[in-house]
Amino acid sequence: MTTEKDKEHKVGVYVCHCGSNIAGVVDVEDVRDFAAKDLEGRGVVVSRDYKFMCSSLGQELIEKDIEELDLDRVVVAACSPHLHEKTFRNACSKGGLNPYLCELVSIREQVSWVTTDKGQATEKAKAMVSGGVERVLQNDPLEPLSVPIHPATLVVGGGIAGIQAALEIADSGFPVIMVEREPSIGGHMAQFDKTFPTLDCAACILTPKMVDVGGHQNITMHTWSEVVRVDGYVGNFTVTIKKKPRYIDEDLCTGCGICTDKCPKKIIDEVFEAGLGYRKAVYTPFPQAVPKYPVIDYDNCIYFQKGTCKACEKFCPTEAIDFNQEDEYITIQVGNIILATGYDLFDARRVTQYGYGRLANVFTSLEFERLSNAAGPTNGEIVLRDGVTQPSSVGIIHCVGSRDRNYNNYCSVICCMQGLKFAHLVKERTGATVYNFYIDMRTAYKAYDEFYQRVLEEGTLFVRGKVAEVTDAARLPGEEGKLIIQTEDTLAGKQRRIPVDMVILSSGLEPRHDAYDVAKLFGIACSSDGWFTEKHPKLDPVATMTEGIFIAGVAQGPKDIPTSVAQGAAAAARVLGRIQQGEIELEPVRASVDQNKCSGCRICNTLCPFNAILFHEDRMVSEINPALCQGCGTCVAACPAGAISGTGFSNDQIMSQIEGLLMLNVAPVGGAV
């Protein structure tokens, strides 16, 4: 299997200790000597080990060898390519070698961290180095692809994270297109009354930003709209937006609200009022809505359902009502996309033992937000479901649907502070006795624990333990007509029954019900819980594995307002950096279709997670868009005709690597396949 061509190569092998991360399990010196002696015949001219190859001294070793020994291939046995491939490619570049002639072999993630037996680990590391050497011999020098970046950015979701991102970019002078599914931007924050821990009025701090978005010369807003199609790639996305019909001519509407006043149809508002209040069939969700134009709710409009009414049209002073509007599809070009699509509240009906939906005076957190909101259905009066009675005792149950293996394992982050906020509001407005039932109090971050202390001092009672049940089955005197909270008090070490008038369930946050569909639309991934997956959980929290798509806010995982805002700004900063670069260099690791071999079966078309493969109907062959391809290799493996090969993972490379792994290069000749 040795060919003349191979013999000409000069390969350098570098084995990293990674402190004790690798050297603690793998006999690094043995691997080094193996490469030097046994792989000498395969072109290895130098083999070294070093404590930290990624340090500048380690990198200089490689640079020096390339210059002095005239290396034309480099294999670094260290950590995962995810971490340091770039580092070592840069080192090769500095030494004057094409960076794609460097191969990283992961003997940390794939060997030392997952193997306990030292002997076996060392043997495996040797095999992997051997595979790496065989593979690198097949590598070709590559040049990165360069694509221009369109200066416009799409922001999906008009909650606080999306608003922040849009304003940051627009204020820097670049165009933003914002798409919001609801009639108004504002998101969940617009539903809140106060925000923890400072108790700022949510509307007071949010609405100025909403107005800024609405009036910004660089922001185009599409509310009551959804993204239905995404084509293209980083720098050049083509996005199709469906604008649902408002049945209101935005050019004529002044937002006077007469149509809403005159509309005879009243329905429960399940979205903005969380089912606790009413709205008309023609409505703006709340007075400070941006834009100010109302929407006619087709399913509930008397005219659309029964054919007569048109009260709104009769009274509209500017003739802005247009019953003939239809879905409108618009196509835009953007360079980058920020997804800030938020969350759904956990459906508390699923925890049947807490009685939500059966017991009238059990409320969800969002219901309570509306109840306590001065602009809410009760003008901020905290009352029971009958609408008049003030509660004299209130129980707030934490971790409903969170930290519970029956529902969601994760902590929803905001519920503890939210529970404290509710306790404060109830106390302040009604003087009622308030109980918080918690598993653990989680009041991390600035000024949060101080708020906890404040609520403690205000006299809110805290019971540590998971609530077993909320019931109206009175058992003891004084329980009749009350909701009884049955819980274990783990601090007192006993069972308690606490009768209250009102129960508030601090429900957790869940991914949007259609999060998977949205992720698929934009070509990104979701975690097993359904949150959008970031590129790196610590070091790259707003980027995704798909170039040009960024995420911000709760769509990425539960978080509070300050963190959502920070992520919105961070995503904007990443996008601005991209825009100012003007163009972006892409990894040249791409798949390509041999058009002569392609049978046009289209199997690869649907498998591609990045929608990178287009099909030429006229010639009946598939072609891969190199700027869109992320080099994942799915199509290469799937192609029944073997017509697709990947730069950086060609059949030659893979087969050689396998031969190397099997040590066919060091075994007696004749053992080859």
Q: For residues 225 and 364, which CB has a smaller minimum distance to other proteins in the complex?
A: 364
**In the bound complex, what is the minimum distance in angstroms from residue 501's beta carbon to other proteins?**
17
Nearest distance in Å: CB 480, other proteins? 8
Among 473, 539, 669, 673, contact with other proteins (rule: CB under 8 A): 473
Q: How far is the CB of 232 from other proteins (least distance, A)?
A: 44
For residue 449, what are the contacts with CB-CB under 8 A and spacing of at least 6? 443
Specify the residue, 405 or 446, whose C-beta has the smaller distance to other proteins.
405
**Residue list 133-152, contact with other proteins (CB under 8 A):** none
Residues 644/635, Cβ–Cβ less than 8 Å: yes
Q: Provide the minimum distance between the beta carbon of 350 and other proteins in the complex, in angstroms, as a whole number.
A: 9
If the CB atoms of residues 353 and 495 are measured against other proteins, the closer one turns out to be 353
φ, ψ (nearest 5 deg) of residue 238: -110, 120
**Count of residues near other proteins by CB under 8 A:** 11
Print the binding letters for residues 421-460 with other proteins: x by CB under 8 A, - otherwise.
Answer: ----------------------------------------
The least CB distance from residue 475 to other proteins, in Å, is 5
Residue nearer to other proteins on the CB measure, 486 or 625 = 486
CA–chain centroid gap for 95, Å, is 38
Give the x-and-dash track for 266-305 against other proteins (CB under 8 A): ----------------------------------------
Of 429, 475, 616, 619, which one interacts with other proteins (CB under 8 A)?
475
Of the residues 171, 469, 514, 623, which one makes contact with other proteins according to CB under 8 A? 469
Which residue number, 358 or 597, has a Cβ lying nearer to other proteins? 358
* Selection from 398, 399, 396 nearest residue 409 by Cα: 399
Q: Which is nearer to other proteins, 48 or 496 (CB)?
A: 496
Q: Tell me how crowded residue 573 is: count the other CB atoms within 10 A of its CB.
A: 16
Stretch that binds other proteins, among 179-187, 204-212, 465-473, 646-654 (CB under 8 A): 465-473
DSSP 8-state class, residue 231: E
Min dist CB 351 to other proteins, Å, is 8
* Nearer Cβ to other proteins (166/500): 500
Q: Which two tokens stand for residue 630?
A: 């992320």
* φ, ψ dihedrals at 8, nearest 5°: -75, -20
Q: Which is nearer to other proteins, 353 or 392 (CB)?
A: 353
CA 258 to chain centre: 40
- Segment contacting other proteins (CB under 8 A): 113-121, 217-225, 468-476, 507-515? 468-476
Integer-rounded Cα Rg, in Å, for the chain is 31
Helix%, strand%, coil% for the chain, nearest 5 = 30, 25, 45
Distance CA 504, CA 371 (A): 11
Q: Give the x/- contact pattern for other proteins in 476-495, rule: CB under 8 A.
A: ----x---------------
Tell me which amino acid residue 42 is.
R
Q: Taking CB under 8 A as the rule, does residue 352 contact other proteins?
A: yes
Contact criterion met (CB below 8 Å) for 399 and 439: yes
User: Which residues, 6 or more positions from 642, have their beta carbon under 8 angstroms from its beta carbon?
Assistant: 597, 651
Task: List, as one string, the DSSP characters of 182-199.
Answer: SSSS-TGGGG-SEETTTT
Q: Taking a C-beta distance cutoff of 8 angstroms, is the pair 588, 580 a contact?
A: no
Query: Taking Cα atoms as reference points, which of 384, 368, 361 lies closest to residue 471?
Result: 361
Instruction: Compare residues 408 and 418 and give the one whose CB is closer to other proteins.
Output: 408
Minimum distance from residue 472 beta carbon to other proteins (Å): 6
Note the helical H segments in 317-409. Answer: 365-372
Q: Give least dist CB 469 to other proteins, A.
A: 8
The least CB distance from residue 473 to other proteins, in Å, is: 4
Q: Which region among 56-64, 117-125, 347-355, 642-650 touches other proteins (by CB under 8 A)?
A: 347-355
Stretch that binds other proteins, among 212-220, 226-234, 417-425, 470-478 (CB under 8 A): 470-478
Task: Closer to other proteins by CB, 120 or 353: give it.
Answer: 353
User: Which residue do the tokens 């993204």 mark?
Assistant: 227
Is residue 84 within 8 Å of 110, Cβ to Cβ? no
Select the span of 29-37, 60-68, 207-215, 351-359 touching other proteins (CB under 8 A).
Answer: 351-359
Question: Nearest distance from residue 494's CB to other proteins, in Å?
Answer: 16
466 touches other proteins by CB under 8 A: no
Taking the least distance from each CB to other proteins, the nearer of 439 and 474 is: 474
Could you say which of 55, 254, 353, 409 contacts other proteins (CB under 8 A)? Answer: 353
Bridge partners (DSSP) of residue 434 are 394
d(CA 490, CA 487): 9
Residues forming a β-bridge with 613: 624
- Cβ-contact 215, 229 below 8 angstroms: no
Question: Which CB atom, from 37 or from 358, has the smaller least distance to other proteins?
Answer: 358
The label of the residue with tokens 């030659």 reads 652
Among 7, 64, 358, 619, contact with other proteins (rule: CB under 8 A): 358
Q: What minimum distance in Å lies between the beta carbon of 509 and other proteins?
A: 23
5 burial class (0-12, 13-18, 19+ CB within 10 angstroms)? exposed
Rounded Cα gap, residues 541 and 558, in angstroms: 13
Do 71 and 137 contact (CB within 8 A), yes or no? no
Nearer residue to other proteins within complex by CB, 21 or 364: 364
**155 and 176 Cβ atoms separated by less than 8 Å:** yes
Stretch binding other proteins (CB under 8 A), from 134-142, 352-360, 617-625, 627-635: 352-360
Strands 336-339 and 583-586: unpaired
338 or 470: CB nearest other proteins: 470
Say what angle helices 28-38 and 118-138 make with each other, to 10 degrees: 40
Name which of 388 and 473 has its Cβ closer to other proteins: 473
Binding span for other proteins by CB under 8 A among 14-22, 187-195, 348-356, 641-649: 348-356
Is 37 in contact with 31 (CB distance < 8 Å)?
no
Nearer to other proteins among residue 468 and residue 601 (C-beta): 468
Q: What six digits make up the tokens of 648? A: 């950086």
Distance CA 76, CA 104 (A): 5
d(CA 157, CA 511): 14
- Cβ proximity to other proteins, 485 vs 571, nearer residue: 485
Q: Which of 130, 153, 284, 471 binds other proteins (CB under 8 A)?
A: 471
H/E segment holding residue 421? helix 415-430
Q: Which of 472, 587, 623, 652 binds other proteins (CB under 8 A)?
A: 472
CA proximity to 182, closest of 98, 250, 270, 106:
270
Distance CA 72, CA 103 (A): 12
Single out the segment in contact with other proteins by CB under 8 A; choices: 78-86, 149-157, 450-458, 464-472. 464-472
Q: Which residues in this chain contact other proteins in the complex, by CB under 8 A?
A: 352-353, 355, 358, 469, 471-475, 480
